[in-house]
Amino acid sequence: MQHLKPARTLALASACVAALWTGAAFADPDLSAELVIDGELHITTRAPSDDITPNLPERYSGWLFRSAETRDLQADDFENPAMLAVEDGADLWETADGSNGQSCMDCHGDAAESMAGVRARMPHVNDAGVLWSMEDYVNNCRTERMGAEAWRWSGDEMTSMTSFISMQSRGMPVAVQIDGPAEPYWEQGRDMYYTRYGQLELSCASCHEESWGLNIRADHLSQGQISGFPTYRLKNAGIVSMHNRFRGCIRDTRAETFAEGSDEFRALELYVASRGMGLAIEGVSVRP
């Protein structure tokens, strides 16, 4: 992390605050919008706040903050470009790989049954007491059971697989465990959420708790919910994982960022997920 002399830092910080407040005129979430996939499946995009988020009046999916055109892309499974990744993931599920000649399906069977609800509980403390993200569980299966090589965290295979697995929980409410063995991880994530990073000295809370609904330059700030991930970002024209998003956010504060798959991002993922409890897992979302 880089540091500037105090006077310069203050100037930057106040410039940023000014930027945060401009463009507030048309920046509220569209609470009249309802996410209904293909005219059939209703997705919960608003959930009551609780003790975890005393500073949020209500929890809002990032979907509510997007333009009508972007929202429409997610409301139709054909028009949603993320479904290309879901189909790739479905193929990978059935494809044997590694020295043991096994596929995911050989152990887990029909993903619609075995993976239902899995995404809603991620990240989750494993049997050894270590907090794992879904990517860790996937790679553990690959290296320990299949005799295959681990996938890169944001490689096409991994994002396709996490997209496919997430779809099996679409519509289910976020329900991560934050007590017991998860508690120290959750507290670590909470501390990170309120830590100011980078030359701009912005914490997650600066944008997503104190300033959601406002614009930062031309970008419309959401509550930073991750119930929609993995997401197809129009900017990337591809699938973006949660940790990739975290990395981008911290980089945008002009800080040295943590790595995808780092312990820090796992802890942050758990805490941020808990701030969205009650919101529905969106399977694969579309964001700008």
Active-site pick, 16, 104, 207, 249 = 249
Residue 193, C-beta contacts closer than 8 angstroms, at least 6 positions apart: 203, 204, 205, 268, 271, 272
Stretch that binds another protein, among 39-47, 107-115, 236-244, 269-277 (CB under 8 A): 236-244
Of 131 and 142, the one with the shorter C-beta distance to another protein is 142
- Catalytic (active site) residue 204: no
Question: CA-to-CA distance for 73 and 68, rounded, in angstroms?
Answer: 9
Q: How far apart are the first and last CA of the chain?
A: 28
Of 35, 47, 59, 66, which one interacts with another protein (CB under 8 A)?
Answer: 66
Does residue 219 touch another protein according to CB under 8 A?
yes
Smallest distance, another protein to C-beta of residue 180, A: 33
Does residue 87 touch another protein according to CB under 8 A?
yes
Of 205, 252, 254, 262, which one interacts with another protein (CB under 8 A)?
Answer: 252
- CA 272 to chain CA centroid, Å, is 8
* DSSP string for residues in 147-168: --PPPPTTSHHHHHHHHHHHHT
Smallest distance, another protein to C-beta of residue 227, A: 14
CB 266 within 8 A of CB 153: no
| Dihedral of alpha carbons 84, 87, 91, 94, sign | positive
Does residue 205 touch another protein according to CB under 8 A?
no
Smallest distance, another protein to C-beta of residue 96, A: 17
Of 89 and 123, the one with the shorter C-beta distance to another protein is 89
- Nearest CA to 70 out of 31, 22, 35 is that of 35
Does residue 200 touch another protein according to CB under 8 A?
no
Of 79 and 94, the one with the shorter C-beta distance to another protein is 79
Residue 118, C-beta contacts closer than 8 angstroms, at least 6 positions apart: 134, 165, 168, 169
DSSP 8-state secondary structure symbol assigned to residue 245: H
Does residue 233 touch another protein according to CB under 8 A?
yes
Does residue 128 touch another protein according to CB under 8 A?
no
Smallest distance, another protein to C-beta of residue 130, A: 31
Stretch that binds another protein, among 72-80, 133-141, 170-178, 267-275 (CB under 8 A): 72-80
Tally Cβ neighbours within 10 Å of residue 267. 24
Does residue 18 touch another protein according to CB under 8 A?
no
Show the tokens assigned to 248. 């981008």
Let me know how long the chain is: 288
Residue 38, C-beta contacts closer than 8 angstroms, at least 6 positions apart: 75, 76, 77
Residues assigned a catalytic role: 249
Residues in contact with another protein by CB under 8 A are 62, 65-70, 72-73, 78-79, 81, 83-84, 87-88, 156, 160, 216-222, 233-238, 248-249, 252, 287-288
